[in-house]
Structure 1
Amino acid sequence: MFRTRTRTASRPLKTVAALGIVGLFAVGCTSNEPDTENAAASGPAKAASDNDAPGDKVVIGFSGPAADHGWLGAINSAAQAEAKKYSDVEFKVAEGTNDASLQISQIETFINDKVDAIVLLPTDGAALTEVATKAMNAGIQVVNVDREFSSPFAARTTVLGDNYGMGVSAGTYACKLVKDKSLTNPVIAEIAGIDALPLTQDRSKGFADALKACGQNVDNRVSAQFTPESGEKEASNLLQAAKKIDIIWNHDDDQGIGVMQAFENANRNEFAFIGGAGSSNAMQWIKEGKMEATVIYPPTQAADGVRLARLLVQQKGLSDLVQVEVPRRIVLNAPVVNKDNVEKYLPLGFKS
């Protein structure tokens, strides 16, 4: 997947390269000739390269969120597990927090410790921009994860999930269900996350845009709080308001635990249920036939950030690109998981 650069280069300080978007498939780059026989057991295929061989020592500081949500916990654990794979990586982990002031202090400590790189999922991108820029100016490679800084000078590269793409994937799959089931005037419902958040707005817009492309629209919509409790409450309200539903998309598999409970309480199962994020619960429900599909929001983003931070410090690049530098911006794919490919994605499922 990666290859070593043949020329040397000093660490960039405030140089801003042209922004490019590279879609990667869940974890890393895929091989041109995947091992289809073992794909289901091993998860998405990954190409091997000499970049995995031990190189110069790299000290990486990691600051992530408090693990108060299944996906956030998976972000932290995946980053630490990835770092352990490399004998040339020394990984310094700050305590997970949702306090921007505390996270700023953590980054200040990493700067004072003179780490080589920092992988940072900020509790607030704008609030952490100044200290991240300070780290970059100190010659530290900063990898921004999931929540973007407000300045391009604050990070060498940014790894993102695709919230709009999640909505598009869910809506496109809903359109397929309408066609495959020959549904006439289907009733389509949406259980969103926190409406005030841009990520929720992006997911809803993507869903609406994809439905519009096949002549459909959202007939009933409620918003929850990304928690099981709120999911159960809002799903109950939805079911009371809509006596017939053909398709439901729920933005988040953590709140999906409550959503599923509401379905059971109401004894309603006439609809195709699509989830979001890719929890272990959702994948098990898919296997059991209780759920139609879920859309991945990769919990590997920080793990990918760790790999990229190591490459940046060791002055290596991506072998599947003609350009030998690590890209400035990477947006991960939002694939749909259903009964046909659930075994392939099961290793990426996180505990809610």
Structure 2
Amino acid sequence: MKLSTKKVLSVLAVLSAGMFFLAGCGGASIGSKSSNNTKVTKKAKKDVKVGMSLSTLSNPFFVNLKQGVDQVAKENGTKVQTFDAQNDSAKQNNQISDLVTKKVDVIIVNPVDSDAIVPAVKKANNAGIPVIACDRGSNGGKLLTTVASDNVLAGKMAGQYLEKLVGKNAKVAELEGTPGADAAVQRGKGFEKEIKGNLDLVTKQSANFDRAKGLSTMQNILQAHNDIKGVFAQNDEMALGAVKAVKDADIKIVSIDGTPDGLAAVKKGSIDGIVAQEPKQEGKLALQAAYDYYAGKTIDKNIKSPIHLVTSKTAK
């Protein structure tokens, strides 16, 4: 009886191990279907079909980004289908689903929200379509690359310049961008780390990267904190709204972006400084990354776009 039991247990152990092995093999084969493991079929630039979804075309920064993509596409005979997500994450995910259905060769996306975009990125991954994030990243899924300026550094530079303008321990406010947007998170991180122990951040409120909301939010801030000496706006649009709210008060304003309207305001003196990005260059770099991918080249995980501080003395 004891021998029989041992035999039974031995047979069960073998069967169990075999089932585990088969299950493991099955998992490996499913994983091997990932598009990142397949060999790239080379394509000429004119044959690369591009789909692009931008968070909003109401913001001049992203209009300029689109112009960068369009310029390079025109030079190379590339067809680009562009969608405006109108700051709506659900709409943007639907747009990317549409591009997946249309079987484009690459998707360039500027996410409304870095968390909300994840399912759409994964859907493109499953379809074997490379995804390039521009200006803002994705917090999940697999990206071919993220093309953006160093937002943490930009926030730090803005903080350093605001410190220089308002002096040690001055009270300041921060206008934050769209909640969840990677650029907003990183810019805020860089700014707040820099000013800790140097400036008194009395409040930070979201104005959703929008000029009109920048105005109304800044008005509310001034009602509660009429003794602030400086404002950090995470983009030019909010800074331009803040300018209207501040009017003639001696409050220094520093932002990040480098849009035509923002740079004109620096030249005029209504915005004191901008850590300027190059949105057209970001667009050009994004499309070039797509070309390089279909040329069989290795793509860097992150492609940095240049930034520099613009003041009234250096504005052109």
- TM tier, shorter chain? 0.7 to 0.9
Matching of residues 1-352 of structure 1 within 5 Å: 13-15=35-37, 57-87=47-77, 89-152=78-141, 154-177=142-165, 183=167, 185-194=168-177, 196-197=179-180, 199-212=183-196, 215-225=197-207, 226-242=209-225, 244-264=227-247, 267-268=248-249, 270-300=250-280, 301-316=282-297, 325-343=298-316
Percentage identity across aligned positions? 23
Higher fraction of helix: 2
Q: Tell me by how many angstroms 1:143 deviates.
A: 1.2
Task: Tell me how far 1:294 sits from its aligned partner.
Answer: 0.9
1:207 and 1:128, CA in 2 relative to 1: closer, same or farther beyond 3 A?
Answer: closer
The answer to whether the 8 Å contact 2:210/2:238 transfers is: yes
RMSD: 3.2
- Give the partner amino acid of 1:284: A
Q: Is the 8 A contact 2:179 2:206 kept in 1?
A: no
Q: Any idea what the Cα deviations from partners look like across 1:224-267, whole Å, max 9, x if unmatched?
A: 41333332233334445555554332222212222111222xx3
CA distance in 2, matches of 1:148, 1:231: 24
Is the Cα–Cα contact under 8 Å of residues 229 and 255 in structure 1 kept in the other structure?
yes
Larger Rg: 2
1:110-137: per-residue Cα shift (whole Å, max 9, x none)?
3344332221223344444344334344
CA distance in 2, matches of 1:98, 1:285: 25
C-alpha spacing 1:191/1:308, structure 2 compared with 1 (3 Å): same
Q: Deviations over 1:153-195 (max 9, x none)?
A: x3222223433222201112223446xxxx4x55241231258
Q: What is the CA–CA distance in structure 2 between the aligned matches of 1:274 and 1:217, rounded to whole Å?
A: 14
Contact 1:65/1:97 (CA < 8 Å) preserved in 2?
yes
Consecutive unaligned residues in structure 1, runs of 5 or more: 1-11, 17-53, 317-324, 344-352
8 Å Cα contact 2:149/2:305 also seen in 1: yes
2 CA distance for matches of 1:194 and 1:286?
Answer: 20
The answer on whether the counterparts of 2:149 and 2:307 sit within 8 Å (CA) in structure 1 is: yes
**1:291 Cα deviation from its structure 2 partner:** 2.7
Asked whether the equivalents of residues 273 and 293 of structure 1 are also in contact (C-alpha less than 8 Å), the reply is: yes
Which deviates more, 78-87 or 303-312?
78-87
Using the size of structure 1 for normalisation, the TM-score is 0.66
CA–CA distance in structure 2, aligned partners of residues 263 and 98 of structure 1: 27
- Alignment check: 8 A CA contact 2:85 2:112 kept: no
* Offset at residue 297 of structure 1 (A): 4.6
